Structure 1
Amino acid sequence: MSIKVRLIAMNFLQFFVWGSWLISLGGYMIVTLNFTGVEVGSIFSTMGIASLFMPAIMGIIADRFYNAERVLGFCHIVGALLLLVAANVTDYPSLYIIMLFNSMLYMPTIALANTVSYNALEKNGLDIVKSFPPIRVWGTVGFIFAMWIVDFLGWTKSANQLLVSGGAALILGLYSFTMPKRPPLKIKDSRSLANSVGLDAFVLFKNRKMAIFFIFSMFLGAALQITNLFGGSFLDDFKTVYPDSFGVQHPNLLLSISQISETLFILTIPFFLQKFGIKKVMMFSIIAWVLRFALFGIGNPGDGLYLLVLSMIIYGMAFDFFNISGSLFVEREADPKIRASAQGLFMIMTNGLGAFFGGILSGWVVDHFTTNGIRDWQSIWFSFAGYALLLAIIFPFIFKYNHVKEEKIRLSH
C-alpha cells in the first residue's frame, strides 16, 4: 500500500473521531441529558483549555523523548477509552472531567498527525507542499462522513455517537503505531518550551498592528464553535412545528453543508488575499459571521430552510477567511526566527482563549434566553450576530494595514 493511501486513511480517521460528536454532542447534552447552556458551553470550552498547553507539551515529548507516531497512538488509545466511558456517564461533573481529559489528549493529535504525515512524505522523497494538501482534505471528508453516519443511524441525540468516536479512535491509535518511525530530534534541534507554546512570540504585542490582530483573533475565535455547540439542539426544538422536515430528521446532514463549504472556500483564499489584502479578507470573515448567526435567527427547517442552507454556505467564508488567512498573515508578518512561535500564539488566542471564553459566554447567553426549558433561539442568534457586528464596526477603524498587491500568493501548508 502506498504511503499516500496510508496517510489518507490516517487523516480520514483523525477527523472522523472528532466529527462523530463535535456537531451533535451539544444537542445530546441539552435534549437527552437536560444540561443547561452554561454546562454545555463549559464542556466544549475544555477544547480551549487543552489548546492552551497540551499541543506544546505533547510536541516536546515527541521532539525529545518518544517517537511522534507512538505519542500519536498513545493519545488516541487513551482518548478512545475516555470516550467509551463518557458514553455511559449522564451527570455533568463526571462528563466534564472526562471530556476535559479527552480534549487534553485529542487536541495535540491534530499537530502530531501533521508531524507524522510530513515525516512519512519526506522519507519517501515526496514534496510536502504539493503532496500533503490533497491528503489533508480527506480529513474533512472523514469529519463529514462521521456526521452522516451518526445522523443516518439516528444517534445525534444518543450517547452512541461517543461509542462511534471511541471505536474509531481505538482503531486509529493502533494504526498509528504502524506508521513510518519519526524518532525524537537531537537535543540541540529541539524546540524550547517557550518556543513551543508561543511565549517568545509575545514580543509581537509590542507592534500595535500585530497586537490588535491577535486581540481580534481572540474575540473572533470565540465565535468559531458556537453553532457547533448549539446547532443540533436549535434544530431539534423545531420538532413540534416541523416534525417531518429535513433539518429536524437529519440535523447532521444539514449542518455538514458547513464543512463542505469550508473545503471549497479554502481554494479561493489565495485570490482574495492577493486581490484585497488581509484587512478586507478579515472584514469579509467578520461580516460572514454576522450573516451566519442572523440567518440562523430568521431561518427554520420548514419554509425557511433555504436561509439555513445559505448560512451553512456562508460558514465556509466565515471560518476559512479568518483561520487560514490569519495564519498566512502571521507567517508573513512575523520575524522568521519566531514564525513557529507566532503560529503557536495565534492558536492560543483563537483555539485556546477564544474558544474557552466563547464556550462559557455562549452558554450564558443561551441560558439567559431560556425560560422554563423553552429557548428563544431568535434572540440567542441575534445576540451572537450583534456581537459579530460590533467587531465588524470596530475592526476597520483600529486595525491599520496597507495592502500591497503581490504577483502571486501561495497557500502554504
Structure 2
Amino acid sequence: MNVKFRLTVMNFMQFFVWGAWLLTIANYWFGTKQWDGTQFGKIFATMGFASLFMPTLTGIIADKWINAERLYALMHILYAAVLFYIPQVQNPDDFFGIMLLAMCFYMPTISLANSISYTTLKSNNLDVVKDFPPIRVWGTVGFIVAMWVTNLSGSKALAAQFYIAGAGALFLGVYALTLPKCRPAKLISEKASLSETLGLGAFKLFANYKMALFFIFSMFLGGALQLTNAYGDVFLDEFKHFPKYANSFVVKYSTIIMSISQISETLFILAIPFFLKRFGIKRVMIIAMMAWVFRFGLFAYGDPAGNLWMIVLSCIVYGMAFDFFNISGSLFVETSTTQKNRSSAQGLFMMMTNGFGAVFGSLVSGWMIDKYFTKSFNNVNELATFVDSSSSNSHLLDFIKGQGVTLMNDGTFSKVLMMKDWHHIWLSFTVYALAITILFALMFKHKHTRAEEEAIERISH
C-alpha cells in the first residue's frame, strides 16, 4: 500500500479521536451533568498539564528504547480505554483525574505522529517539506469529520461522544502496529545531563530579552486558543434557552457551525506565504492577534438570527488567528536559534502555547466565568427578562423543568437557577486579546534578518 496514503490515514484518525469530543465536552459537562464552571476550567487545563512533560518523556523513550510506531499504538489503545471509562464517572473531581490520564496518553501522540511521518517519508526517499503538508492537512479534515459525526449523531451532549472517540482510538492503535518500523535512533548521549536529556537547555533562551518576550506572549496566545476550544460550542448550544432561537439551525448544528473554524484553518495555510512575504513576521503575528480580537468580538454580538453573519465570520477569522501565529512564531524560533538548540526551542514554543498557555487560559477563564459572568435567577420573571420571553412561554417552562428546578405558585424557583452571560464573557475575552495585541506591538521590537528572508523565500516556493 502507498506509504503516503498510510500516513494520511494515520493523521486523519489522529485528530478524529480528539475532535469527536474536544469542542462538545462542555455540552456534556454543563448540559448533561450540570457541573460548575470553575471545575470545567480544570478539565481543559489537563491538556496543558500533560503537554508540559509527556511529549518529552515519550520522545526520550522512542529515541532510546521502543519503536515509535509501537509506543504510538500503545498510547492510543490506553487512551481508548480511558475514553470508554469516562461515561462511568459521576463526580467532577474524579472526572478531572480521569481526563488528565486520558491527556497523558493522547497529547504525546501528536508529536509521535509527526516523528513517524518524518521517519517514514525519509526512509522512502521522499521530501518531507514537500510531501508532509498534504498529509498533515488530512488531520484537520479528520477533526472536522469527527465534529460532524458527533453533531449529526445527536451525541454532542451525551456520553456517546467518548465512545465515538474511543472506537476511533482503538482502531488507530491497532492500525499503527501495521505501519513501517521506526526504530530508536539512540540520539541521546549516555553522557548527557538530565537537563539536556529533558530538553531544558532551551530555557536558557529566556536570558535573551526578545526571545523571553516572544515566549511570554506565546503563553498568553495559547490561553486564548483554549477559550475558544472550551466555550465556543456550548455558547452556540445555549441559545436554545432563548425561545426565539431555540429551533434555529445554529442550535441544532452548533458543532457543524464551529467546524467552519477548522475548514478556515486549512484554507488560511495557503495564504501564509503571501502574508509573510508582504508584511514580515512581526506584522503577521500582530495580524494573528487582531484576528483573535475579532474572533471574540464577533461572538459577543453574534446570534443565530439577524447577526448570524457575525458567528460565521468569527469562525472564518479563526483560521487566520490560529495559523498565522503558530507558523510565523515557529519561523521566528527557527531563524533566531542555532542548530544546537533549535529543536529544544521549538519544543519550548509548543510548551508555552499548549502547556503553560493552556493551563493559564483554562484555569483563569473557568474561575472568571463562574465568579463574574454567571447570573443567578430566583424567580421566573427575572429569567423571562434575561431570555426575552413571557413567563407563560411553554419553552421557558420546559427549560426550567429540564434544569431540575420546580416553579412555585408564587413564581419563585425551588432553587437558584444559573445561566452564563455570554455577551460579557466574550467582551472580556476581546479586551484581553486587544490588550495583548497592543502590548506586543509596542514591546516586541524586531527587524527581519537575512535568515528570515531566506526562510520566507523557501516557504513561498
Q: TM-score, normalised by structure 1?
A: 0.96
1:220 aligns with 2:221: yes
Q: Is the 8 A contact 2:233 2:254 kept in 1?
A: yes
Distance 1:295 1:131 in 2: 36
In structure 2, give the amino acid aligned to 1:370.
Answer: T
Pick 1 or 2: higher relative contact order, CA cutoff 8 A, min separation 6: 1
Q: Is the 8 A contact 1:196 1:344 kept in 2?
A: no
Residues 26-175 of structure 1: pairs in structure 2 closer than 5 A: 26-175=26-175
Shift of 1:187: 5.4
Could you say which residue in structure 1 is the equivalent of 2:374? 370
Shift of 1:186: 3.1
- Residue by residue over 1:113-152, the C-alpha shift from the partner in whole angstroms, topping out at 9 and shown as x without a partner, is 1111112212222111111111111111000000000010
1:337 aligned residue (334, 337, 340): 340
1:237 aligns with 2:244: no
Q: Structure 2 vs 1, CA of residues 192 and 2 (structure 1 numbering), >3 Å: closer, same or farther?
A: farther
Q: Structure 2 vs 1, CA of residues 154 and 9 (structure 1 numbering), >3 Å: closer, same or farther?
A: same
Shift of 1:360: 0.5
Q: Is the 8 A contact 1:37 1:364 kept in 2?
A: yes
- Residue by residue over 1:270-327, the C-alpha shift from the partner in whole angstroms, topping out at 9 and shown as x without a partner, is 2212221221111111111111001100001122111000000010111111112111
The 3-state SS of whatever aligns with 2:156 is: coil
Could you say which residue in structure 2 is the equivalent of 1:288? 291
- Residue by residue over 1:198-230, the C-alpha shift from the partner in whole angstroms, topping out at 9 and shown as x without a partner, is 411122112111111111111111101211111
2:349 aligned residue (346, 350, 357): 346
2:441 aligned residue (391, 396, 400): 396
In structure 2, give the amino acid aligned to 1:300.
Answer: D
Could you say which residue in structure 2 is the equivalent of 1:384? 429
Q: Structure 2 vs 1, CA of residues 240 and 227 (structure 1 numbering), >3 Å: closer, same or farther?
A: same
- Residue by residue over 1:22-50, the C-alpha shift from the partner in whole angstroms, topping out at 9 and shown as x without a partner, is 11111211111112221111001100000
Q: Structure 2 vs 1, CA of residues 196 and 227 (structure 1 numbering), >3 Å: closer, same or farther?
A: farther
Shift of 1:196: 5.9
In structure 2, give the amino acid aligned to 1:375.
Answer: K
Shift of 1:397: 1.2
Shift of 1:382: 0.4
Q: Is the 8 A contact 1:60 1:193 kept in 2?
A: no
Distance 1:210 1:57 in 2: 25
- Residue by residue over 1:242-280, the C-alpha shift from the partner in whole angstroms, topping out at 9 and shown as x without a partner, is 112111000110000000001111111122122212211
In structure 1, give the amino acid aligned to 2:343.
Answer: A
Quick check: 252-261 or 200-209, which moved more? 200-209
Q: Is the 8 A contact 1:69 1:181 kept in 2?
A: yes
Distance 1:104 1:45 in 2: 12
Could you say which residue in structure 2 is the equivalent of 1:203? 204
Shift of 1:189: 6.0
The 3-state SS of whatever aligns with 2:225 is: coil
1:5 aligns with 2:13: no
Could you say which residue in structure 2 is the equivalent of 1:322? 325
In structure 1, give the amino acid aligned to 2:24.
Answer: S
**Radius of gyration: which is bigger?**
2
Distance 1:32 1:381 in 2: 23
Distance 1:143 1:64 in 2: 31
The 3-state SS of whatever aligns with 2:125 is: coil
1:273 aligns with 2:276: yes
Q: Is the 8 A contact 1:197 1:341 kept in 2?
A: no
Q: Is the 8 A contact 1:298 1:307 kept in 2?
A: yes
- Cα RMSD of the aligned pairs, angstroms, is 1.6
Could you say which residue in structure 2 is the equivalent of 1:410? 458
Q: Is the 8 A contact 1:59 1:196 kept in 2?
A: no
Distance 1:146 1:85 in 2: 20
Q: Is the 8 A contact 2:64 2:188 kept in 1?
A: no
Report runs of 4+ in structure 1 exceeding 2 Å deviation. 186-198, 403-412
Distance 1:409 1:247 in 2: 42
Distance 1:206 1:81 in 2: 43
The 3-state SS of whatever aligns with 2:180 is: coil
The 3-state SS of whatever aligns with 1:337 is: coil
In structure 1, give the amino acid aligned to 2:157.
Answer: K
Distance 1:406 1:74 in 2: 42
Q: Structure 2 vs 1, CA of residues 220 and 188 (structure 1 numbering), >3 Å: closer, same or farther?
A: closer
Q: TM-score, normalised by structure 2?
A: 0.87
Q: Is the 8 A contact 2:73 2:174 kept in 1?
A: yes
Q: Is the 8 A contact 1:27 1:231 kept in 2?
A: no
In structure 1, give the amino acid aligned to 2:438.
Answer: I
Query: Between the two proteins, what is the percent identity of the paired residues?
Result: 54
Distance 1:153 1:337 in 2: 49
Distance 2:272 2:60 in 1: 32
Distance 1:270 1:400 in 2: 22
Distance 2:96 2:104 in 1: 12
Residues 303-314 of structure 1: pairs in structure 2 closer than 5 A: 303-314=306-317
Distance 2:81 2:59 in 1: 22
Could you say which residue in structure 2 is the equivalent of 1:261? 264
Question: What is the count of residue pairs matched by the alignment?
Answer: 412
Q: Is the 8 A contact 1:258 1:312 kept in 2?
A: yes
Distance 2:62 2:75 in 1: 12
Distance 2:18 2:188 in 1: 35
